Structure 1
Amino acid sequence: MNRTAILSALPDEQQGLLELLQQAQKTSHAGRDFWQGVLHGQPVVLALSKIGKVAAATTATALIERFGVQRMVFTGVAGGLGAGVRVGDVVIATDFLQHDLDVSPLFPRYEVPFYGKACFGSDTALTARLHAAACDALAAAETHRPARQFADARVHSGLLASGDRFVSGAAESSSLRATLAGAGHEVLAVEMEGAAVAQVCLDYGVPFAAMRTISDRADDSAHVDFSSFVEQVASQYARAIMERFLLSLSIK
């Protein structure tokens, strides 16, 4: 069975998908609940990664080892860092980097030891489908409640930076963006799970793609904007985009 795993970090990010799941069957494993079923005609497993890189890596490994998924997609929110990346926009990841990884002087800063690189790429074909689904969903967003707030929302493609810290201060986000740029990494957004899942998927040879709705600018207002945005906007984006993405898997 060609099964797709859909990961999110927070319950509200995935609630809309769970409500649509057909033939739902819950399995508790490794301290997590995994929901198997059919979504828009595709066999899927829905799971919450929990927050942070270690928790996300555990969940990704369980999805591969226990449930035998053939592809993995992450949907959630992120803080915007790149120029022109605004609240309400969607970022489709082309690459992932751990912004808090530093094993220097043994290895260059950001490089993952024994992998010979700092950035792990997403799967090209899967990412192209996800990008097309996001563009289509936002173009049709006049039928969705978030459109009234973010009528000019755009889809971006590029680097996501992951770290075990909720970046929520203007000074911190500016410093992070400048430091990464100085090392040759032009980052679009910051979150807490993607790079870990990308590394696990690379190890197992499982295609991975990720989308993040920009909930804030990772600045001093991040904590104020975050919770309501996830519930009112990001979850609806995820529902619309994943519908189009899953339907596209039926097209050869």
Structure 2
Amino acid sequence: MISAARPLAILSALAEEQAGLVDQLQGAQRVTHAGREFWQGALDGLPVVLALSRIGKVAAATTSAALIERFGVGAIVFTGVAGGVGRNVQVGDVVVGTGYVQHDMDASPLFPRYQIPLTGQTAIGADAALARALVFACVVGLQGVQHAGRAPMVHQGLVASGDRFVNGQEETARIVDTLRLHGHEPLAVEMEGAAVAQVCHDYGLPFAAVRAISDRADDTAHADFPVFVRDVASVYARRIIAEFVRTCQDSQPRL
């Protein structure tokens, strides 16, 4: 799942989504590269590189390529927030992506809708072992946590990425309905995952991501998002990543 000889990259778009992790790094070293700050060190003895992708697919792809080329990471895990669009996905839940599609990819009629040109691929799958480890980390790490009076549910499924902050009921319905029309059932929308998945696929590197649901990608998303990111996302990330690191260090075949 994760090579002992190569560090694990932990990636987020915003500082709030990764708050506290740098403080927990053992032997922390800051490296500036490609206009970004990267933090090398260890979490619970596991070699890691922490980085912020910034927002959007191009920025995320640049950061991912830098992690692979400059830092030689052996896998990338993304933790952040997303808008929930699945029927049973509520604010405060978490989604572990099993696949990633770009909802704004449309090179038709040259290529089928949503297909990445010249690849023959539409949805890129997450690494199964990493995704299972993230699910386990969510279930264990969020025990006892409540949001708005309910325990967070852990969902697994398709995540749709695009270079838009989706925050209107009509826009969300249009994106989701069109994806469904082409055989895709998204659970969440965000702005980076599919790009990181594509880079990792190109390099043959394991990738998985977990997203806390900050809003329902509706008309109040712009108000719900910053509050959730500030008050909730960092708590989720610390708990999930701590348990994920323990799971990666554990030799028991429970994944």
TM-score bin, normalised by smaller chain: over 0.9
Written as runs of structure 1 = structure 2, the 5 A alignment for 1:90-169 is 90-141=94-145, 147=146, 149-169=148-168
State the AA in 1 paired with 2:154. V
Counterpart residue number, 1:75? 79
Aligned partners of 2:92 and 2:147 also within 8 Å: no
Written as runs of structure 1 = structure 2, the 5 A alignment for 1:53-68 is 53-68=57-72
Give deviations 1:173-205, integer Å, cap 9, x for gaps.
111111111110000000000000000000111
Counterpart residue number, 1:144? none
Shift of 1:251: 1.6
Written as runs of structure 1 = structure 2, the 5 A alignment for 1:186-205 is 186-205=185-204
Give deviations 1:11-68, integer Å, cap 9, x for gaps.
1111121121121100000000000011122110000000000000000000000000
Aligned partners of 2:144 and 2:151 also within 8 Å: no
| Residues in 2 aligned to 1:38 and 1:90: alpha-carbon distance in whole angstroms | 25
State the AA in 2 paired with 1:176. I
| Residues in 2 aligned to 1:18 and 1:234: alpha-carbon distance in whole angstroms | 15
| Residues in 1 aligned to 2:149 and 2:8: alpha-carbon distance in whole angstroms | 29
Aligned partners of 1:99 and 1:163 also within 8 Å: yes
| Residues in 1 aligned to 2:204 and 2:149: alpha-carbon distance in whole angstroms | 37
TM-score normalised to structure 1 length: 0.96
Q: 1:150 to 1:198 in 2, by over 3 A?
A: farther
| Residues in 1 aligned to 2:80 and 2:152: alpha-carbon distance in whole angstroms | 16
Aligned partners of 2:13 and 2:52 also within 8 Å: yes
State the AA in 1 paired with 2:224. D
State the AA in 1 paired with 2:94. V
Aligned partner of residue 122 in structure 2, secondary structure: coil
Aligned partners of 2:141 and 2:242 also within 8 Å: no
Q: 1:148 to 1:207 in 2, by over 3 A?
A: closer
Counterpart residue number, 1:242? 241
Shift of 1:148: 5.2
TM-score normalised to structure 2 length: 0.95
Give deviations 1:221-252, integer Å, cap 9, x for gaps.
01111111111111100100000001111122
Shift of 1:140: 3.6
Counterpart residue number, 1:230? 229
CA RMSD, 1 decimal: 1.0
| Residues in 2 aligned to 1:18 and 1:170: alpha-carbon distance in whole angstroms | 37
State the AA in 1 paired with 2:89. V
State the AA in 2 paired with 1:232. D
| Residues in 2 aligned to 1:159 and 1:234: alpha-carbon distance in whole angstroms | 20
User: How many matched pairs?
Assistant: 247
- Structure 1 runs of 4+ off > 3 angstroms? none
| Residues in 2 aligned to 1:118 and 1:54: alpha-carbon distance in whole angstroms | 18
Q: Percent identity?
A: 59
Aligned partners of 1:37 and 1:44 also within 8 Å: yes
Aligned partners of 1:88 and 1:150 also within 8 Å: no
| Residues in 1 aligned to 2:83 and 2:66: alpha-carbon distance in whole angstroms | 27
Written as runs of structure 1 = structure 2, the 5 A alignment for 1:200-215 is 200-215=199-214
